[in-house]
Amino acid sequence: MSTLLSNSIQPCSVVDIGSNSIRLVIFDTAAGYPHPVYNERIFCALGEGVGRCGHLRDNAIDDALTAVVRFARIVHEVDAGPLHVFATSAVRDAANGSILTEAVHSRTGSEVDVISGKDEARLSADAARYGLDLEDGIVADLGGGSLELALIKKGEISQADSLPLGTVRLTARMDGEMPRMQGEIIHYFDTVSWLEKSNAPFLVPLGGAFRNFAQLNIAENRHPLNIIHGYTASPSVIRNSIDVLAGMSTRSLSTISGIAARRRNSLPLTSVILGELMQRSAPSAIAFAAIGVREGYVFSRMSSKTIADDPLTAGARAISLRDSRYGDTSDVFMDWIAPLLPRKKKARTRLQRTVCALADMAWREHPDYRATYAFERSIQYPFLGISHTERAFIALSLYLRYGGKPQDEIVTAYNSLLSKRAIRRAEVLGLALRLAYRISGGSPTLLMQSSLVINDGRLSVMLPPNGAAPRNSRIISTIKRLCAARNLKPGTVRAVRNPGD
């Protein structure tokens, strides 16, 4: 056995036997939420046979079993247990689904948890609720075999349904004829009585088919951040893409790059399903998520006591504990910058704490590249509980903390995600942290011996005593920039007197 995972990781491995593919994800749950550390999928199209004849095809069963055996071996070799194997629509609806589940148990020793459609909807909704900090909305998880729908009201799942409208299954059952598939979509949506009465502000599409749609929508609208999770758009923006994709021919679809052929061919059907969902639910916005039933399944296996209250700050803290020189010192830095950025609003304070936790993440890099590294890593890191606007704010703050300039091209490309006031707050936060690190070298004990004082519109800086204070020439330019960003005037800069002096 060759263990690939560090001792700090708490693994939970999941094999998802879906209608389109079999996927292994090894999650790390040490931070209090499922963070993927290994992800592999193998296409088996189990749902095709179920759509055509109600049975899993023999060759699909063989392919699926081979995939699960390989994945179980990987989990064993890297000591990433426990391994959980679950199956969704194709296996639960196939007349011969037990052939596969029994074979998996025989070859790997793992029982296959065949989850019901309503449970699948609830698990997906749980993941979306947590991963997007969603209080009210409709979660729609489109897979190869089924479409799961769930309604979240005031943070609680109030409705859950499963419809046999997966892209693989529906295409096989209707021989790919769009008018017939549209008829099926309308028929099954008519059975979900709560959909049109929900008054939900958000529609949250999940699953690979919807992720591919989001990927194209991001590119088409030249959205600056090519990340699906947290991408939010207006109904009109999404409708424009639906109108284009729904009528595309197979030949036109073949010209789309960056998406696997089998995924490309399902884009028209995916668009029709999304359009019908929007028509019936009338959301104010569509928010895409890159998580779903697998994360929900892991949450269901975690103790409520071990689940972090906020995945964003928990994820940032995990990075600080692993990558910072002094561990998580965010409390000390939050206290130090408080005169400049009071903790009046919960959402702003949350972002400030996240930036403080990440403020020492680039110390191993060459000084010339630290700002770029911190910006790119923070804006692309797979955080949960974060919007694109919040990503841009965090990344800009860290870029300035490491000496970057707000007019640099790398950051101005994302300015459309932030208001002018948010950009100014990021400047204040980034420059305040830069000053803090220049004074203390990152040492929390040194920083606690210094302070900021604002009086009569002037910012004074009290430096550590006993010869620990840096030369004024090293910090004066940062102080001037900080004062300009905060609309203050520079005050005195002096060392704190030692009580014994």
Q: Which CATH number characterizes residue 243's domain?
A: 3.30.420.150
Residue with tokens 């014994």: 500
Segment 377-423, tens digit of pLDDT: 999 999 999 999 999 999 999 999 999 999 999 999 999 999 999 99
- Token match 């196939």: residue? 94
Q: Is residue 4 part of a domain?
A: no
- What does the pLDDT read at residue 275? 97
Q: What is the pLDDT of residue 50?
A: 86
494 strand-pairing partners: 462
Residue 305 lies in a domain: no
User: Which amino acid is residue 190, in one-letter code?
Assistant: D
Is the residue at 380 inside a domain?
yes
Residue 63 neighbours by CB distance under 10 Å: 17
- Asked if residue 123 and residue 49 are part of one domain, the reply reads no
User: Rounded CA gap, 380 and 372, in Å?
Assistant: 12
Tens of pLDDT along 293-338? 999 999 999 999 999 999 999 999 999 999 999 999 999 999 999 9
Q: Which two tokens stand for residue 474?
A: 């090293």
Residues 357 and 279 in one domain: no
As a whole number, the mean pLDDT across the chain is: 93
Both 337 and 419 in one domain: the answer is yes
* Residue where a domain terminates, one of 261, 295, 329: 295
Task: Give the tens place of pLDDT for each residue, 147-181.
Answer: 999 999 999 999 999 999 999 999 988 988 999 99
Give residue 295's identity as a one-letter amino acid code. E
**Whether the model pTM is above 0.85:** yes
Based on the fold, state whether residues 277 and 265 are members of the same structural domain: yes
State whether 144 and 266 are in the same domain: yes
Strands, E assignment, 18-122: 21-28, 35-43, 83-87, 112-114
Same domain membership, residue 130 and residue 93 = no
Output the domain CATH number for residue 101.
Answer: 3.30.420.40
pLDDT at 104 over 90: yes
Return the SS3 of 340. Answer: coil
- Where residue 251 falls among pLDDT bands split at 50, 70, 90? confident
In this structure, are 466 and 405 located in the same domain? Answer: yes
pLDDT computed for residue 470 by the predictor: 81
Residue 1 included in any domain? no
Residue that terminates a domain, selected from 73, 95, 114: 114
Same domain, 154 and 280: yes
Predicted local confidence at residue 140, as pLDDT: 98
- Predicted confidence at residue 114, as pLDDT, reads 98
Report yes or no on 136 lying in a domain. Answer: yes
> Residues 6 or more apart from 105 whose CB is under 8 A from it?
111, 112
176 & 282 share domain: yes
Residues 35 and 155 in one domain: no
Q: What is the pLDDT of residues 8-65, one digit of tens each?
A: 789 999 999 999 899 999 999 999 999 999 999 999 989 888 888 889 999 999 999 9
Q: How far, in Å, CA of 458 to CA of 482, rounded? A: 11
State the Cα–Cα distance between residues 218 and 221, nearest whole angstrom: 5
Provide the residue range defining the domain that includes 415: 310-495
Distance between CA atoms of residues 30 and 3, nearest Å: 17
Q: Which of 75-79, 252-256, 471-475, 487-491 has the lowest mean pLDDT?
A: 471-475
Q: How many domains does the chain have?
A: 3
Q: Once rounded to an integer, what is the mean pLDDT over residues 197-224?
A: 95
Burial class (CB in 10 A: 0-12, 13-18, 19+), 102: exposed
Shared domain check, 68 and 84? yes
